[in-house]
Amino acid sequence: MVEELVDGFGRVHRDLRISVTDRCNFRCVYCMPAEGLRWLPRSEILSFEEIHRVARLLVDRFGVESIRLTGGEPTVRAHLAELVSMLATLDVDLALTTNGATLGLLADDLASAGLRRVNISLDSLRPDRFREMTLRDGLHRVLDGIVAAKEAGLSPVKVNVVVMRGVNEDEVLDFAAFGRSEGVEVRFIEFMPLDAEGGWTGESVVSQDEIIERIESAYPIEPLASGSAPASRFRYLDGGGVIGVVASVTRSFCGSCDRIRMTADGKFRNCLFAHEEHDLRGPLRSGADDEALAEIIRSGVREKGPGHSIGKVNFVRPARSMSQIGG
């Protein structure tokens, strides 16, 4: 008998995000402060066996249906395909979010291991701007990774673009054209207050309305029905594909959110913007049985609040940045 993970507001949680490392192979200026980050010692990172145990518990006991592997940058974790193979036995929708820099080398192995689909983070199509944002001359590698993902049969391939005013909002149409020509689904994401420098302001947010207005100036679109997924999706009227917009700031989807998270060091989080974390690593390593772990998870979900309150006077940003939590 599957037990539903229900919070105090009636939301059932079936989508698990697992960060497999806090490290990255890019030093993105919006993800990492100028002085860098303190990487976690290897001993503090969950092993593949520990990750699999928690994932199995969440699938078997609580009916989790989808698992997304994140980072940091998950592909820097050695032997990642082994973890994918272990999780693929759970028969879930198994996906990966990556910056794509090494995907050209790994896509075939990951797909063979059981990965179903991939989201690739890419905030500029211009080599000079990409270099400025990531401190790496690697746009060609990311583009090669997109091609490799498609050729490996990962589907759908989605490209995540965080749109920031004064930074890359002038590339919205470029990304729309890219998605149409490459047959990938571009998802535009409103800039959230999870940057490592803590410099986010409301003025830096390019809203869903503005993004859609820019796209419609060149390509007529119509909305598609949406479910619990965070992205509002739109179809090109000429059959040129689909785009999505994740309006985390201006159109909060907290009321239908079904996501829970586990960080690379084994902390359970009920929300991307949560201030409280529940330790799973300690109990895992001290011999806790499945029921003890399940109660930690139940307790964490029960404590989930109604929403993140971005833009309101009572909003308090979490202590960790996006790269330390996992997207």
Residue 3 lies in a domain: no
Residue 186 lies in a domain: yes
Q: For residues 88 and 308, which has the higher predicted lDDT (pLDDT)?
A: 88
How sure is the predictor about 181, in pLDDT bands with cuts at 50, 70 and 90?
A: very high
Residue 237 lies in a domain: yes
The pLDDT of residue 322 is 55
Residue 116 lies in a domain: yes
199 pLDDT more than 80: no
Q: How confident is the model over 75-104, as pLDDT tens digits?
A: 999 999 999 999 999 999 999 999 999 999
Residue 1 lies in a domain: no
Based on the structure, what is the number of domains in the chain?
A: 1
Q: How many CA atoms lie within 13 A of 130 on its CB side?
A: 19
Whole-number Å distance between alpha carbons of 72 and 105: 18
The pLDDT of residue 275 is 77
Average pLDDT over residues 142-151: 98
Residue 6 lies in a domain: no
Average pLDDT over residues 59-72: 96
Distance of CA 319 to the CA centre of its chain: 18
Token pair belonging to 197: 């420098």
Average pLDDT over residues 238-249: 94
How sure is the predictor about 33, in pLDDT bands with cuts at 50, 70 and 90?
A: low
Residue 135 lies in a domain: yes
Instruction: Name the residue type at position 178.
Output: F
The pLDDT of residue 94 is 98
Residue 320 lies in a domain: yes
Asked if residue 250 lies in contact with residue 212, where contact means CB atoms within 8 angstroms, the answer is no
How sure is the predictor about 107, in pLDDT bands with cuts at 50, 70 and 90?
A: very high
- CATH at residue 261: 3.20.20.70
Domain that holds residue 262: 15-325
172 pLDDT more than 80: yes
How sure is the predictor about 324, in pLDDT bands with cuts at 50, 70 and 90?
A: low
